[in-house]
Amino acid sequence: MEKKRVLVIDDERIVRKVLQIQLSTLGYEVTVTGNAQEAFDALKADQYNAVICDIRLPKQRGDEILKQIVQDYPTLPVIMLTGFIDVDLAVSVMKLGAFDYINKPIKRENLAVTLSKAMSYKNLQDEKIRLEKENIKYQKMLEQKVSERTNELRKALKRLQATYVDTIRALSSTIEAKDPYIRGHSYRVSQYAIIMAKEFGASPQELWDLEFGALLHDIGKVTIENRILHKKKPLTDKEIQIIRKHPVVGENIIKNLDFYQQIRQYVRNHHEFFNGKGYPDGLKGKEIPLLVRIISLVDAFDAMNSDRAYRLRLPMDKIIRIIKEEKGKQFGPEVVEMFFKIKLYENEIPYEGSEL
């Protein structure tokens, strides 16, 4: 078993000799010093399990030495030696960080018990430090693993988002292929919607969902026959009912795909009217989410501003008049006000295919 090492600091040679003999018989390796300088030189040179220091030294008080040891070697227990007349001083040094004190003349049994406690204390302190270092090491390793895993998840998310975007591109292209008269319509609606939503302070995530919700708002039209979509004459009541089913059909197309859940509202409710006379749910006022109300307006605006199978694009002054007339009816008042405040109708949205 490795011996424990004790440093003795006392200016009396006889006391040093007695302590050296007693400690050696108790199984300790002992280094004796007569002053503070020798003691600190010894502490720098070797490692010790405890220090025994006289409370009164000729050139430096024991409490001053204690303060320095506690500061430089915080886990090293220091046992102070004191005479009976120095009991009050001994109590004061305990407050400064001394582990314990022993009265002179030194009794072997008292020395043995006090040192045994000091060794246990030192072992506990060393173990605590070891565990703290292990914990820090573990935390760093854990942080590194978390960082690595986070990077992996970021890459996986980017791949998932790329797949998500590619899927929406394909679906958007499918709509355009079905009805060439609406080529670029969904893209323009998404860009108009983003411009307005930013003015209302939409978050980045809301803008992300809004963009893709707008791109897919007409996805339900892929199930409508071309003869209806391309019809140049007025639609019959039955054909109108078929057209009006496209929001629900569109929602059904995407509802079972988890990553489309946040955009279902844009697909299903973009034809709701502020006055409650829209479809399919007859939502009214603020029952219709703000961003859906935005899509409702810009969708109608772009439709009026584009050629369709049944008519040519409308003059801008007529479009503006219709939007003003429908404020509070088809369109939300605050959305109409923002539309004219930022003069959205003056924006030109370039389109070169279904690029997002």
Instruction: Give the tens place of pLDDT for each residue, 169-226.
Output: 677 677 667 666 677 888 899 999 999 999 999 999 999 999 989 988 988 888 888 8
Look at residue 316 in the predicted model and tell me its pLDDT. Answer: 95
Q: What is the largest CA-CA distance in the chain?
A: 123
Look at residue 2 in the predicted model and tell me its pLDDT. Answer: 64
Mean pLDDT of 230-237: 88
**301-339: pLDDT as tens digits:** 999 998 887 888 999 999 999 999 999 999 999 999 999
Contact assessment for residue 321 and residue 330, using Cβ atoms and an 8 Å cutoff: no
Task: Supply the mean pLDDT for the chain.
Answer: 87
Look at residue 87 in the predicted model and tell me its pLDDT. Answer: 65
Q: What is the pTM of this model?
A: 0.57
- Which band of pLDDT confidence, cut at 50, 70 and 90, is reported for residue 355? very low
Structural domains of the chain in order of their starting residue, each with its CATH number = 4-130 (3.40.50.2300), 179-346 (1.10.3210.10)
Half-sphere exposure of 207 (CA within 13 A, CB side): 13
Look at residue 104 in the predicted model and tell me its pLDDT. Answer: 82
Look at residue 84 in the predicted model and tell me its pLDDT. Answer: 62
**161-180: pLDDT as tens digits:** 677 667 776 776 776 676 66
Look at residue 166 in the predicted model and tell me its pLDDT. Answer: 73
Rounded to whole angstroms, the Cα distance separating 151 from 326 reads: 50
Cα end-to-end distance, the chain, whole Å: 74
25 token code pair: 């018989």
